[in-house]
Structure 1
Amino acid sequence: MSNSMKPVSTQSGTIKSNNDEMEKIPSSSPKRSDTLTNSQRIWTSLAAGAIAGGAAKTSIAPLDRTKINFQTSQQPFSTKAVLDFLIKSYQKDGLLSLWRGNSATMVRIVPYAAIQFTAYEQWKRILKVDETDVGDERRFIAGAIAGLISQAMTYPLDLARAQMAVTQKDEYKTLRQVFTQIYKKDGLVAFYRGFTPTILGVVPYAGCSFFFYDTLKNILTIYTVNSPALSAMTGLMSGAIAGMIGQASSYPLDIVRRRMQTSAVKNQQSLGIIKMTMKIYGEDGIMSFYKGLSMNWVKGPIAVGISFATYDIMKDFLRKIFC
C-alpha cells in the first residue's frame, strides 16, 4: 500500500484506501462464523458466556465478598480494614472461607453471563449494530437490554449470594437453605428485594460496559489483527476500561441494592429504595454511596477484562471447531 493511501477501518474488518481500492484483512472472528445459523450463534454464545462469567467471578471472589461486607455495614472502609477482614476470615474458617458464597455466585453468574452475552449478540443483530454507520448508540441500547434481561432472570440467585456473603458459615450452609429461610420469613416477594435499584443501575452499567468494550476493541483490532497474543491483551485492556466506566456510572445504586438485599439477615427494617437511600446518606453523607469503590477499581477491571476476553476467545474457538 502506498504512502498516499490512508486506511480506514470498517465493521467488516476491511481497510479502504482513498483510491477506492479494497484490501481485506483478517476479521477478529473466525471467517467460518459468517456461515453460522442463528441457532449455532446462540448456543456458542451461551457456552462461551457461561465459561467467561465463571472464570471472571472466581478470580475475584475473595475481594467480592469483602466488598459486600463493607457495603452492607457501617464500618469505615480502609486498606487496613480490608486486610483485617481477609485475615480474620482465614483464621476463623480457613482459606476456603474467602470464597464463601462463591457457589451461589456460580449458580447465578453462569446463567447470568450466558444470557447477557447471548442477548447482547442477538440485540446487536436485531438493531443492525454492525450493519450501519450509526451503531454506537444502538450498541449501548443492546447492552442495556441484555443487562435487563439477564438481571431479571437471575436476580433471586444474586440475592441469595449476597446474604451468604454477609453471614457466618454456621448460619447458612447451602444455597437451598438460604432460599428456604427467605421464603419462610418473607414469602416470594422477598426474592426481589432491592430489584428496583438493580434495574436502575444495570442500564448504565451494562450499556456502558458493552459500548466501550466493543468500541475500543474495534479501534485497537486494526493494530493487533495479525498477533493472537496482542489480540487477547486488547480484549483484556478494552474490558478493563469498559468495566471501570460501567461501575463508576452505577456504583451508588449498587450500594443501595446490597443494603436492601441484606437487611433481613442483619435484623434490620426492610426499607424501600427512597428510604434506604436516605438512610445511607444519613450515615456519612454522599461518601456513603462510594464505600468500597476503591476496591472495585481493583477487582472490577480484572473481572470485566477476564470476562470479555474469555468470552471472545471461547466464542471464536467454539464457532471454529464445532460449527
Structure 2
Amino acid sequence: MSSDDHKTRKNELDYVLRSGLAGGVAGCVAKTVIAPLDRVKILFQASNPDFVKYAGSWSGAFRAGTHIYKEHGARGLLQGHSATLIRVFPYAAVKFMAYDHIRHLLMPRKESETNVRRFAAGAASGIVAVFLTYPLEVIRVRMAYQTRSTDADARPSFKRAFKQIYAERASAPAGSARRLDPKNILDRFPLLKFYRGFTVTVGGMIPYAGTSFLAWDFLRAHMLPPQGKASGTTPVADLAIGAVSGAIAQTVSYPFEVVRRRMQVGGITQPDRWLGWNETAQTIWRARGWQGFYVGLSIGYLKVVPMTAVSFAVWQAGKRLLGI
C-alpha cells in the first residue's frame, strides 16, 4: 500500500469517527429533550390499560404526564430513558455516519443530486442503523410500557427487561410439564424475541428515514445560500428545516410505528406466540378502524418535530465543531 493510499484511508477513518461522534451526541441530546413525551406516547401506542382513558388529545397527553409524575415523580417520566440512551447513541451515530457515506456514493457531485437518491440514501442509512440496534429498542419499550409491579422494589431496569424478554416462552396447560414446540419460532430461536416487530419497523423506517433526509436535503439545497452549506447555514435554519422534515416524515410513517409498538409489547400481552404485523394491523383495525393507526399522533408531532429539529441542528453543529 502506498503512502498516499494509507493517508487516504486514515483520513476516511478519521472522518467516519468524527461523523459518528457528532451523530451519536446529536441523537442523545434530542432524545433527552423529548423523553417524557416519548414515555407517554409509548403507553398510548401500546394501549396500556392504565392510560387508554387519556389517549386521543393534547390535554390527555398532559394529564397522562401529570399522572405519571404524581405516581412516580420525575423518574417515572424518564423510565426507560437509560435504555434509550444506550440505544440512541450507536443508532444515531450509525444513521448519520451511514447517511454521509451513502449520500456521497450516490451523489458525489451536485449535478447528480436527485430526490430519488436523497430518499434512497436516507432509507438505507435508517435500515442499517435499526438493524444493528433494534434489540436495545425492544428493551427500552418494555421498560417504558411497565406501569405496575408486584414488587415495590422491582423498578423497571435494563437488566430485568432483558431477562424478562429472553425468558418468555410458549405456555403449557396448567399442571403439565412444558414441552418445547419445534414449530415455535421463539423456542427454537430465543434471540428473535428481541426482534419483535422488526419487519414492520423496517417497513416504517424506509418512508420515515427516507422522507426525513429527503426533506432535509431538499430544503437545505433550495433555501440556503449556494456558496456552501457550512458557510451559509445557521443553527436557526438547521432547527427550522429539521422541524419541517420531522413533521413530514412522522405523518408518512406513523401507522407503521403504531403497529411496531404493539408487536414489541406482544410478549407481555400474548407471550405464548409470535404476533405478525398483518395480524397486529387487523387487530388495531377491528378495535378502532383507521383512527387506531394514528393513536398518539398529536404527541408524535409534539415529540418528533423538536426531536428532529434538535437532532439535525446538533449534528450539523457537531460536524462544524469537529472540523468536518
| Number of the residue aligned with 1:10 | none
* 8 Å CA contact retained: 1:204, 1:249: yes
Q: Does 1:161 align with 2:164?
A: no
CA separation of 1:228 and 1:132: change in aligned 2, threshold 3 A: closer
**TM-superposed deviation, 1:174:** 1.8
5+ residue gaps in structure 1? 1-35
- Counterpart CA distance in 2 for 1:157 and 1:237 is 30
- Measured against aligned partners, the alpha-carbon deviations of 1:122-151 in whole angstroms (never above 9, x if no partner) come to 101211354434433211111110000000
3-state SS of 1:173 partner: coil
- Counterpart CA distance in 2 for 1:172 and 1:279 is 30
Q: Does 1:56 align with 2:30?
A: yes
Q: Specify the code of the residue in structure 1 equivalent to 2:31.
A: K
3-state SS of 1:58 partner: helix
- Counterpart CA distance in 2 for 1:243 and 1:210 is 9
- Counterpart CA distance in 1 for 2:247 and 2:100 is 22
**TM-superposed deviation, 1:294:** 1.1
The 10-residue stretch of structure 1 (233-242 or 162-171) with the greater mean CA deviation from structure 2: 162-171
| Number of the residue aligned with 1:245 | 248
CA separation of 1:129 and 1:140: change in aligned 2, threshold 3 A: farther
Match of 1:197 among 189, 200, 225: 200
How many residues are aligned here? 287
Q: Kindly report which structure 2 residues correspond to 1:11-90, keeping only aligned pairs within 5 A, or say none.
A: 37-73=11-47, 75=52, 76-90=55-69
| Number of the residue aligned with 2:213 | 210
- Measured against aligned partners, the alpha-carbon deviations of 1:170-214 in whole angstroms (never above 9, x if no partner) come to 555321221111111142111101001100000011011111111
3-state SS of 2:199 partner: helix
* 8 Å CA contact retained: 2:212, 2:245: yes
Same amino acid, percent of matched pairs:
35
- Counterpart CA distance in 2 for 1:130 and 1:44 is 22
* 8 Å CA contact retained: 1:129, 1:139: no
Match of 2:283 among 275, 279, 298: 279
CA separation of 1:283 and 1:143: change in aligned 2, threshold 3 A: same
| Number of the residue aligned with 1:124 | 103
Q: Kindly report which structure 2 residues correspond to 1:214-233, keeping only aligned pairs within 5 A, or say none.
A: 214-222=217-225, 231-233=234-236
**TM-superposed deviation, 1:224:** 10
Q: Specify the code of the residue in structure 2 equivalent to 1:45.
A: S
The 10-residue stretch of structure 1 (160-169 or 187-196) with the greater mean CA deviation from structure 2: 160-169
| Number of the residue aligned with 1:9 | none
Q: Specify the code of the residue in structure 1 equivalent to 2:165.
A: I
- Counterpart CA distance in 2 for 1:232 and 1:119 is 23
| Number of the residue aligned with 1:92 | 71
CA separation of 1:224 and 1:289: change in aligned 2, threshold 3 A: farther
CA separation of 1:128 and 1:249: change in aligned 2, threshold 3 A: same
- Counterpart CA distance in 1 for 2:85 and 2:92 is 10
TM-score (norm 2): 0.83
Match of 2:318 among 311, 314, 318: 314
The 10-residue stretch of structure 1 (85-94 or 58-67) with the greater mean CA deviation from structure 2: 85-94
Superposition RMSD on alpha carbons, in Å?
A: 2.4
Q: Specify the code of the residue in structure 2 equivalent to 1:180.
A: K
3-state SS of 2:146 partner: coil
5+ residue gaps in structure 2? 1-9, 170-189
Q: Does 1:183 align with 2:166?
A: yes
- Counterpart CA distance in 1 for 2:260 and 2:242 is 24
Q: Does 1:150 align with 2:129?
A: yes
Q: Specify the code of the residue in structure 2 equivalent to 1:183.
A: Y
- Counterpart CA distance in 2 for 1:105 and 1:224 is 38
The 10-residue stretch of structure 1 (123-132 or 311-320) with the greater mean CA deviation from structure 2: 123-132
- Counterpart CA distance in 2 for 1:118 and 1:248 is 25
| Number of the residue aligned with 2:179 | none
The 10-residue stretch of structure 1 (112-121 or 207-216) with the greater mean CA deviation from structure 2: 207-216
Q: Specify the code of the residue in structure 1 equivalent to 2:40.
A: T
CA separation of 1:226 and 1:281: change in aligned 2, threshold 3 A: closer
- Measured against aligned partners, the alpha-carbon deviations of 1:29-72 in whole angstroms (never above 9, x if no partner) come to xxxxxxx9211210111100010000000000000110110111
- Counterpart CA distance in 2 for 1:159 and 1:227 is 37
Q: Specify the code of the residue in structure 1 equivalent to 2:94.
A: I
**TM-superposed deviation, 1:242:** 0.6
TM-score (norm 1): 0.83
